[in-house]
């Protein structure tokens, strides 16, 4: 069942973090044209992390995708970006807005690092192709029953901030490529530095692209959580001297009480 796809679903978006899951089985029938048009509109309203990086998102059909062993979905978002500092984190931050919106609207979706679009799609943008997101009417339960069904690291393994359990729980539950959860949040509950784990040399060749996208996804979950707790957020990009070794600094989120 596809519910209305509209903006202003802040409450539902926060709630959906606690039950969303990747959907890999879809009903073959395409979504209504009207829903696809509304998705296109939403794609124009995504909030960037870095507002100087061009990004282009196309809705394509399953026929236009080389599946490489993955199941076909009726629709995909093909995401293209300019390659500038921070572009992958920016992309993760922006497209996680869509993943959560899909889930809140009754649409199944799954980030897809392995498949790639066919040549006609690749030629359709001036920007570089980065990743796909599959979506459609789910043919499996859309939600988890409760958070015990998430396979995730414990909070102590993704942060050294001790007094922000509720704030950081949505970050802990964020999705990531091969569920590697390669993020670490350090600082204080009011000034939080978002970092990714530095992989070793060999692992880096395989997963570097995904680590930065994953971290952008987690940063978006933190923004949703902070707003739920009525904080205003300022995001800056100046590496703090206190960042522990072994981490790649990505961004600082300053949280202030809204009133």
Ligand X SMILES: Cc1cc2nc3c(=O)[nH]c(=O)nc-3n(C[C@H](O)[C@H](O)[C@H](O)COP(=O)(O)O)c2cc1C
Residues that bind ligand X (CB under 6 A): 21-22, 24, 70, 110-114, 175-179, 210, 213-214, 217
The CB density around residue 232, as the number of other CB atoms within 10 Å, is 12
What is the smallest separation between the CB atom of 33 and ligand X, expressed in angstroms?
Answer: 27
Closest CB to ligand X among residues 178, 258: 178
Let me know: does 112 contact 70? Beta carbons within 8 Å: yes
For residue 15, CA distances in Å to 10, 110, 146, 170, 173 come to 9, 18, 11, 9, 12
Closest CB to ligand X among residues 184, 231: 184
What is the smallest separation between the CB atom of 94 and ligand X, expressed in angstroms?
Answer: 13
Closest CB to ligand X among residues 22, 72: 22
Cα separation of 250 and 216, whole Å?
9
Cα separation of 129 and 99, whole Å?
18
Closest CB to ligand X among residues 65, 137: 65
Please give the angle made by the CA atoms of 194, 213 and 175, to the nearest 5 degrees. Answer: 85
Displacement of CA 193 from its chain's centroid (Å): 18
Closest CB to ligand X among residues 176, 187: 176
What is the smallest separation between the CB atom of 175 and ligand X, expressed in angstroms?
Answer: 3
**Phi-psi category of 8—alpha, beta or left, where left has phi over 0 and alpha has psi -120 to 50?**
left
- Residue of minimal Cβ distance to ligand X: 175
Tokens of 122: 């690749």
What is the smallest separation between the CB atom of 258 and ligand X, expressed in angstroms?
Answer: 30
What is the smallest separation between the CB atom of 17 and ligand X, expressed in angstroms?
Answer: 10
What is the smallest separation between the CB atom of 194 and ligand X, expressed in angstroms?
Answer: 16
Closest CB to ligand X among residues 65, 255: 65
Let me know: does 49 contact 95? Beta carbons within 8 Å: no
Strand partners, 212: none
């Amino acid at each position: 069942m596809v519910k209305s796809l509209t903006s202003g679903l802040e409450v539902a978006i926060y709630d959906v973090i606690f039950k969303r899951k990747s959907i890999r089985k879809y009903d073959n029938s395409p979504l209504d044209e009207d829903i696809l048009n509304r998705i296109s509109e939403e794609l124009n309203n995504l909030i960037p992390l870095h507002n100087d990086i061009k990004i282009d998102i196309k809705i394509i059909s399953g026929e236009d995708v080389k599946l490489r062993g993955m199941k076909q979905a009726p629709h995909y978002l093909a995401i293209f970006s300019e390659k500038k500092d921070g572009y992958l984190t920016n992309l993760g931050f922006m497209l996680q807005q869509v993943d959560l919106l899909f889930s809140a609207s009754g649409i199944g979706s799954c980030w897809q690092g392995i498949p790639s679009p066919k040549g006609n799609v690749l030629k359709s943008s001036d920007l570089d192709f980065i990743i796909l997101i599959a979506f459609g009417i789910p043919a499996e339960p859309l939600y988890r029953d409760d958070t015990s069904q998430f396979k995730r690291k414990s909070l102590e393994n993704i942060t050294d901030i001790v007094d922000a359990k509720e704030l950081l729980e949505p970050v802990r539950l964020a999705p990531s490529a091969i569920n590697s959860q390669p993020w670490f949040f350090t600082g204080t509950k009011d000034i939080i530095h978002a970092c990714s784990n530095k992989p070793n040399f060999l692992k880096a060749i395989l997963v570097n692209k995904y680590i930065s996208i994953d971290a952008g996804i987690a940063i978006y979950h933190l923004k949703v959580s902070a707003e739920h707790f009525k904080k205003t957020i300022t995001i800056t990009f100046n590496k703090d001297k206190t960042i522990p070794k072994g981490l790649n600094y990505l961004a600082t989120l300053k949280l202030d009480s809204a009133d």
